[in-house]
C-alpha cells in the first residue's frame, strides 16, 4: 500500500547552526530564498501526499504560524527523538506505512517521496533513500546494500549515506518501552528480520545541519 501521510521531522534544537538558531527553529532558516520547511512541504505537495504532519519542540511559535493551513502539528513539550516523535504523531498520520522526511535538507532531481513510492513493495518494512558515500555532500557510510536491496549496517565499510527520507511501517513502534528513542532501534530490528531495504536517489542532496550547509545547498540549487 502506497503511503498517504508524511511525517516531517522539525523538532530539533539546531545547535550546530550556532547563532542562526538563537531566536528561531532550524526549519525556519532560509535556503535559496525560502525556509527549509518550505522545501520539505513542496516535496510532499509535488508527490501528492494527502496528510502532512510536522513535529515541533524548540521555539515553536513561528513554525506553528508558518504551518497553519499547510500541515498538522504534533508538538512535543519534551523532545522525543525520531522514534518517539513518530509514535506520538501516529494519531494524526493514520494507519499503514508512512513517509518520513527530515526538514534540514534540500534536493535536486527526482522527487524523493515519489521515488520511494515507486520502489515500495510487498515484504518491506522500511525503504530508505540513499546515496553512495563519497557522492557530493554525502560523506557518511551508514549502510551497505546487497544485490536484492537489503540493508546492513556499514560498520566501517564503504557504503551508502542515508538521506533522511524513507517509507516505514510503524507496527514495531508499539513494542518499544521507552518514550524517547531513535528510529535506529527500529531499523536494527528490521535489518535483523531482512525487511529493511535501500534505494539510491536519482539526483542531488545536501544536508543543511551547519551554517556552511546553506552555501553548499544554494550552490547545488544554482541559487545566486
Grid cell listed for 180: 524517547
pTM: 0.97
Model confidence over 120-152: pLDDT tens digits? 999 999 999 999 998 878 778 999 999 999 999
Q: Is the dihedral of CA 90, 93, 96, 100 positive or negative?
A: negative
Q: What is the CATH number of domain 5-221?
A: 3.90.550.10
Model confidence over 42-52: pLDDT tens digits? 999 999 999 99
**pLDDT average, residue stretch 196-205:** 97
| The predicted structure's pLDDT at residue 224 | 56
* Residue 148 to residues 156, 189, 197, Cα–Cα distance (Å): 21, 18, 8
**pLDDT average, residue stretch 189-207:** 97
Grid cell listed for 113: 517521496
In the chain, domain spans: 5-221
Model confidence over 81-117: pLDDT tens digits? 999 999 999 999 999 999 999 999 999 999 999 999 9
Amino acid at each position: 500500500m502506497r503511503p498517504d501521510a508524511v511525517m516531517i521531522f522539525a523538532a530539533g534544537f539546531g545547535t550546530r547552526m550556532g547563532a542562526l538558531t538563537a531566536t528561531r527553529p532550524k526549519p525556519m532558516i532560509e535556503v535559496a530564498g525560502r525556509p527549509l520547511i518550505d522545501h520539505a512541504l513542496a516535496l510532499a505537495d509535488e508527490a501528492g501526499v494527502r496528510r502532512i504532519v510536522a513535529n515541533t519542540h524548540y521555539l515553536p511559535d513561528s513554525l506553528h504560524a508558518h504551518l497553519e493551513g499547510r500541515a498538522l502539528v504534533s508538538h512535543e513539550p519534551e523532545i522525543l527523538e525520531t522514534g518517539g516523535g513518530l509514535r506520538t504523531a501516529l494519531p494524526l498520520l493514520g494507519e499503514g506505512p508512512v513517509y518520513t522526511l527530515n526538514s534540514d535538507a534540500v534536493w535536486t532531481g527526482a522527487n524523493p517521496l515519489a521515488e520511494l513510492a515507486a520502489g515500495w513493495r510487498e515484504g518491506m518494512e522500511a525503504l530508505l533513500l540513499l546515496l553512495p558515500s563519497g557522492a557530493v555532500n554525502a560523506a557518511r557510510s551508514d549502510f551497505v546494500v546487497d544485490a536484492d536491496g537489503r540493508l546492513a549496517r556499514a560498520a566501517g565499510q564503504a557504503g551508502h549515506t542515508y538521506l533522511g527520507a524513507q517509507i516505514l511501517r510503524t507496527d514495531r513502534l508499539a513494542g518499544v518501552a521507552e518514550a524517547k528513542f531513535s528510529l535506529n532501534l527500529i531499523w536494527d530490528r528490521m535489518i535483523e528480520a531482512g525487511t529493511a531495504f535501500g534505494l539510491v536517489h536519482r539526483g542531488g542532496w545536501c544536508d543543511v545541519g551547519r551554517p556552511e550547509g546553506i552555501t553548499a545547498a544554494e550552490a547545488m540549487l544554482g541559487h545566486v
